[in-house]
Amino acid sequence: MPQAIQKIIAAIGALGFIISLCTFTVTENELAIRSQFREIVGTDYGPGLHFKWPIDTIRKFERRIVSQSFEGETFLTSENRGLIVDYYVKWRIKDAARYAQAFGNDPGAAGQRLSDIVKDGIKNAVAQRTLQEIVSAERTAFTGDMFDRASKSVQSLGLELIDARVQKIGLPPDVESRVYASMQQSFSRLARQLRGEGEKEALRIRAEADRKRTEILSIAARDSLKIRGEGDGRAAAIYSAAYGRNPEFYAFYRSIQAYKNSLGKEGDVMVVSPDSEFFKYMRSSGGSSR
């Protein structure tokens, strides 16, 4: 290989080495700080290529959210009853410089420190309440204050608390049976009370419905009699006006109706004089009484 080419390759290699000493890259999932002799001289590097001095030290940290669960932690209520609580925390690094000063490169130390802060907050919240208040209340009701205090505490450590919640609340085996029995008795009393109030209300509603039903039927009967009477009166007036135009025809029609209803039925016996007024239309088609 010619000596000139060897010099070019060596120059390119040396240039690449110098560039590698003077640059560094940061991905979307990383935070980076630049230090000189353990003194932080640069922070807040966004994703991409950045420059540095060869004597600078670059430390990178995880930008993404970290989730940690903690199980079987024991807390005491205001009645000195033990509770077994499972909870979890979600956090991420917000200030890389403060985080590096507090924990170096140990993420486990950061998680443990955050867990201790959250645990103290839950302990204070549980200690201020009775077992009944904790069981009957929503879990966020007694963790809200804890979350606010913990969020302020971790800011000085360069952390951001995303979420902290109680997953499960349990009781020691020796206490669990007594608590459940007490809760069953309490809910049974409440059920009997509600059932009694419901039956009382049901009786009142039925009595009110019966009263209204009686009133409606009475009003309907009264109105029906009134309407029927008015109808009978109008019918009588119409009949009177119609039959008054031809009284002879009306008398004939009534006699025919009487014959129809009285004669020709098997087993009937009628004792009437042949000269009776009842048979006058049968003796003469003209209707005279001759």
Burial per residue of 36-67, b for 16 or more beta-carbon CB atoms within 10 angstroms, e otherwise: eeeebebeebeeeebebeeebebbbbebeebe
Query: Confidence band (pLDDT; 50, 70, 90) for 1?
Result: low
Sorted by sequence, the CB contacts under 8 Å of residue 109 that are 6+ apart come out as 103
> Which tens digits make up the pLDDT trace of 49-86?
877 777 778 888 888 888 888 887 787 777 777 778 88
Six-digit token string for 11: 């120059």
Token pair in block for residue 49: 């290529």
pLDDT band of 288, cuts 50, 70, 90: very low
**Angstrom distance (rounded) from CA 148 to CA 166:** 15
Determine the pLDDT at residue 216: 94
- 194-232 per-position pLDDT tens digit: 999 999 999 999 999 999 999 999 999 999 999 999 999
| The predicted structure's pLDDT at residue 289 | 43
pLDDT bracket for residue 27 (50, 70, 90): confident
**In percent, how much of the chain has pLDDT > 70?**
81
Distance CA 15, CA 9 (A): 10
pTM: predicted TM-score of the whole model, two decimal places: 0.50
Among the residue ranges 88-97, 100-109, 168-177, 197-206, the one predicted with the least confidence is 168-177
Q: Are 147 and 121 in contact (CB under 8 A)?
A: yes
Lowest mean pLDDT among 18-22, 157-161, 166-170: 18-22
Q: Residue ranges of the domains in the chain?
A: 3-62, 66-171, 246-283
Separation of alpha carbons 32 and 24, rounded Å: 10
116-133 pLDDT, tens digit per residue, is: 888 888 888 788 777 777
Question: Which positions ≥6 away from 107 have C-beta within 8 Å?
Answer: 62, 66
104: left (phi over 0), alpha (psi -120 to 50) or beta: left
Q: What is the pLDDT of residue 239?
A: 79
pLDDT reported for residue 223: 93
Give 235-244 contacts, CB < 8 A, sequence gap 24+. none
Residue 75: closest CA among 66, 89, 65, 86: 86
> What percentage of the chain reaches a pLDDT higher than 90?
15
Closest Cα partner for 87 from 154, 146, 133, 129? 146
Most confidently predicted of 225-229, 261-265, 285-289: 225-229
Cα(66)–Cα(199) distance, integer angstroms: 55
Matching CATH number, 66-171, of 3.30.1340.30, 3.90.1150.170, 3.40.30.10, 3.30.479.30: 3.30.479.30
